[in-house]
Structure 1
């Protein structure tokens, strides 16, 4: 019975995280969703800046602290290890829902506005490419582990979650953090950059860079010199010359978001 409950909880957390991610894409781009980074209740700029900075801080602290190994060692004394990742996703969804509900747009000033048709299409193309890279990167490293399903369903299969592997599939042979690189591309590739969206993009970009620093510290502790050599050889978010290696080579586990891993 406990195994079934873990699986159902993991499935619910997975579905909620995918819904939140899709809404996040619309929220960041002012597409489809009713409230977004530039669409919502009006407020004075001082109130909006303070509110939005606090929302970004809540998301950043939750997303980073809960992904750290020290927190996980304490947290798994409270929740079963097989649903630790799923619980992390639930907390992330709560932080995102708070952002979606309480974010206050800052329409002016407009930092840039691109009106040329080809340039607008190029920026939206880069936006879509960024989120495509995020999706592909999650499957390259094990999408279902990243989003907790593999761990939550492991009791039903009568086994334990597989140990972390040390490998660099495809995009991870070009950059150490392709998932984060895709996020950054999605944050900044927009034809209209208002002050509110600039705050949103800059705040989340700062979180990404801070998250990478913490994550790489954990990866160095976990994999030692092998990850250190990988870090020297392969660029963090942009490719370096001569970093692509034969497909079969296994030499470093991909550094993922806290995601997040979009995540940890």
Structure 2
């Protein structure tokens, strides 16, 4: 029963997370909130973080057997993959406009009476010239490089599925936003696995 609860909690998290960032919902929120929509992204990120930490904390309270345990010499590989994934996460974060990513840029623009809804450009250099979704790739590698209980494994499975499904919907949104520019970008840069496109 406890594992079913974990699966349901993470599934609900994924649904809420996806709904709040969807084009339809965010467009509706924009119409309702007006200029105060500038606070939406930051509020969304804080809410998602609190919800994520709450569910993760709950899984830590469960009495669950350790089923994945790295031992020497595999701990060396584990350390390398964990470190590499953290570096990629930071690199990916800095590759974007991280102030906009967090939701601070929008608030700054509001205070300066600037329009935050300016057209976004696709970043095609650096890490984003190697893989289209480096943050997701790093997250998957990080999760599966950890020593894990049964509850953790279930969490990792649900979150991995959520990421893979989420990429499909995110790609559709990006094609709608950028059109042929993003379609051409997809032809030369792989989504998750580097160097798999000619």
TM-score using structure 1 length:
0.68
Residue deviations 1:11-34 (CA, integer Å, cap 9, x gap) = xxxxxxxxxxxxxxxxxxxxxxxx
Q: Does 1:87 align with 2:34?
A: no
* Aligned counterpart, 1:217: 172
* Aligned counterpart, 2:11: 57
1: distance between equivalents of 2:19 and 2:189?
26
Residue deviations 1:187-244 (CA, integer Å, cap 9, x gap) = 1112x3332221111111111001101100000111111111211221111113566x
* Gap change, CA 1:242 and 1:235, over 3 Å in 2: closer
Larger RCO: 1 or 2 (CA < 8 Å, sep 6+): 2
- 4+ runs of 1 displaced by more than 3 Å? none
User: Shift of residue 109 of structure 1?
Assistant: 6.3
Residue correspondence of structure 1 range 1-264 to structure 2 within 5 A: 46=1, 48-79=2-33, 80-103=36-59, 104-105=61-62, 107-108=64-65, 110=67, 112-116=68-72, 118-161=73-116, 162-190=118-146, 192-241=147-196
Gaps of 5+ in 2: none
Contact map agreement 1:66 1:88 (CA 8 A) in 2: yes
Contact map agreement 1:144 1:150 (CA 8 A) in 2: yes
SS in 1 for 2:110: coil
* Between 195-204 and 121-130, the greater mean CA deviation after superposition: 121-130
Gaps of 5+ in 1: 1-45, 244-264
2: distance between equivalents of 1:171 and 1:106?
40
User: Shift of residue 106 of structure 1?
Assistant: 5.5
1: distance between equivalents of 2:148 and 2:52?
21
Structure with bigger helix share is 2
Contact map agreement 1:62 1:91 (CA 8 A) in 2: no
Count of equivalent residues: 194
TM-score using structure 2 length:
0.89
1: distance between equivalents of 2:63 and 2:89?
27
2: distance between equivalents of 1:60 and 1:193?
21
User: Shift of residue 179 of structure 1?
Assistant: 0.9
